[in-house]
């Protein structure tokens, strides 16, 4: 019932908007910022943010938002981030996670990495259907967002000395299984996205793991960078 109660906490429209805003930032968010972002008072935002923390959907902490320390730096402010815990609801109960972990364990022990990646690439191509490979990073981000990856753009293009643009993803849809079988599941994820986005178009997917985010990034293909 704990997961049901947590998800039920999002039924309130203000609370849901606050949760979506905090989740989308990928960093700590203070009460003032959250209130301004969704157009409510700070007091109301604080109430709903604390309710989300009580439900286990957000984690709360405190820090000085000014970045200063010592006398005159002000009191620490309460801040919130999205929890890494997963919430699922199935009525009646289903245990697909255990099934996925057992299948991953069997595949890893049997050395079926190549076969799994081939199947994942075919699935990605099937999801893309008859569409052409993604025409650019903006289209790729739309595709990734629809699959629950929560993409965000890093870097800028066309500025001397600036980092090349790359799409990173704050959410891995396979996070729970990937934690136990990272080489197997991350390789599968890369192959799935190669099939979904295309391998011979303006963008490409490649492995670039970073703590707390998806192990795959998307960037302009080498031909498109020249």
Q: Are 60 and 53 spatial neighbours (Cβ–Cβ below 8 Å)?
A: yes
Residues near 76 by beta carbon (within 8 Å), at least 6 away in sequence: 62, 63, 64
pLDDT of residue 156: 63
Q: What is the DSSP string of 6-59?
A: HHHGGGSHHHHHHHHHHHHH-S-EEHHHHHHHHT--HHHHHHHHHHHHHTTSEE
Q: Are 88 and 176 spatial neighbours (Cβ–Cβ below 8 Å)?
A: no
| Distance separating alpha carbons of residues 59 and 82, to the nearest angstrom | 6
Q: What is the pTM of this model?
A: 0.75
CB-neighbour burial class of residue 109 (10 A; exposed 0-12, middle 13-18, buried 19+): exposed
Buried b (16+ CB within 10 A) or exposed e, 53-80: bebebbbeeeeebeeeeeeeeeeebbbb
pLDDT of residue 211: 87
Question: HSE of 43 in the Cβ direction (CA atoms, 13 Å)?
Answer: 0
Question: HSE of 23 in the Cβ direction (CA atoms, 13 Å)?
Answer: 19
Q: What region does 221 belong to: left with phi over 0, alpha with psi -120 to 50, or beta?
A: beta
How many CB atoms lie under 10 A from the CB of residue 221?
18
pLDDT of residue 225: 56
Q: What is the DSSP string of 89-157?
A: --SS---HHHHHHHHHHHHHHTT-HHHHHHHHHHHHHHHHTTPPSP-SHHHHHHHHHHTT--EEEES-S
| Distance separating alpha carbons of residues 103 and 214, to the nearest angstrom | 21
The 10s digit of each residue's pLDDT in 119-174 is 999 999 999 999 999 999 999 999 999 999 999 998 765 445 566 899 999 999 99
Residues in the chain predicted with pLDDT less than 70, given as ranges, are 1-2, 65-74, 89-91, 156-163, 223-226
């Amino acid at each position: 019932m704990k997961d049901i109660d947590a998800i039920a906490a999002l039924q309130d429209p203000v609370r849901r908007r606050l949760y979506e805003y905090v989740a989308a930032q990928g960093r700590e968010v203070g009460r003032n910022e959250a209130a301004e972002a969704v157009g409510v008072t700070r007091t109301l935002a604080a109430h709903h943010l604390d309710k989300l923390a009580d439900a286990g959907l957000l984690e709360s902490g405190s820090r000085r938002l000014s970045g200063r320390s010592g006398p005159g730096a002000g009191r620490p402010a309460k801040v919130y981030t999205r929890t890494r815990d997963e919430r699922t609801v199935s009525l009646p109960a289903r245990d697909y996670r255990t099934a996925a972990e057992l299948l991953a364990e069997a595949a890893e022990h049997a050395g079926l990495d190549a076969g799994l990646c081939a199947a994942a690439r075919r699935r990605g191509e099937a999801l893309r259907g008859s569409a052409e490979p993604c025409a650019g990073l903006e289209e790729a981000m739309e595709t990734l967002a629809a699959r629950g990856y929560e993409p965000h753009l890093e870097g800028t293009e066309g500025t001397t000395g600036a980092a090349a643009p790359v799409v990173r993803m704050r959410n891995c849809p396979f996070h729970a299984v990937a934690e136990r079988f990272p080489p197997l599941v991350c390789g599968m994820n890369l192959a799935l996205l190669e099939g979904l986005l295309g391998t011979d178009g303006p963008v490409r997917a490649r492995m670039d793991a970073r703590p707390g985010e998806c192990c795959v990034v998307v960037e302009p293909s080498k031909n498109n960078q020249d």
